[in-house]
Amino acid sequence: MQRRDTDGGCVLSLPGFEIKTIESKTQFRLKIPGSGKLSLTLVHSDAMPSWEKPHFHLGLWEVYVVFRGDLGFVLLNSGGTIDGVVVGERGDRRVIVFPPNMPHNVFLTPQTLFSVATAGVPVVNPDKSDNDWYDAADTFVNNVCMNGARTRVQQLLS
């Protein structure tokens, strides 16, 4: 079944499988039913370098694996420290894991191929179609340390 998504993208979905195109990104998503949630999304981005929306999950672990290219991350650790991390060809690793309740912001670079896996028991957000996705913009906006980390990540990837 093909439909328009709330993000303005085009979605082709079958039970447990979804192909979604938004702007310059193509996502292939496999959702495995059962208790809690397990999903795997493969993303290819042709977009210009850009920041995604900062967010966190209350009940889900999120794992990013970079196959080609690079992703930048700014995250707020549980101790309140802010880190900027590059994952991929120019980073010191290809995998990064975010536990529940860790705000993070993702910087996409062109021609990057990566996967995102989520697992756990979701705490649904009724404002996001009952998805365990929570906006963390308030954490990132006007935060001098956060803005500095974002600038460093962008410089490393330019």
Quick count: other Cβ atoms within 10 Å of Cβ 56?
21
- What's the confidence (pLDDT) of residue 35? 45
The correct answer on CATH 1.20.1540.10 for the domain covering 2-156 is no
- What's the confidence (pLDDT) of residue 65? 92
Q: Which run of H or of E encompasses 151?
A: helix 144-156
- In degrees, to the nearest 5, what angle opens at C-alpha 27 toward C-alphas 155 and 125? 90
**Cβ pair 86, 153 in contact under 8 A:** yes
Of the candidates 66, 26, 16, 68, the residue with the CA atom closest to the CA atom of residue 46: 26
- What's the confidence (pLDDT) of residue 119? 85
Q: Where are the domains of the chain?
A: 2-156
- What's the confidence (pLDDT) of residue 41? 72
The string of DSSP codes covering 64-121 is: EEEEESEEEEEEE-TTS-EEEEEEETTSS-SEEEE-TT--EEEEE-TTEEEEEEEEE-
Q: Which run of H or of E encompasses 156?
A: helix 144-156
pTM of the model: 0.80
- What's the confidence (pLDDT) of residue 2? 46
**Cβ pair 65, 94 in contact under 8 A:** yes
Q: What is the pLDDT along the chain (158 residues), one digit of tens a residue?
A: 445 555 555 566 666 666 666 666 666 666 666 545 556 677 777 768 888 889 999 999 999 999 999 999 999 887 778 889 999 999 989 999 999 999 999 998 888 888 888 888 889 899 887 789 999 988 877 677 888 888 999 999 98
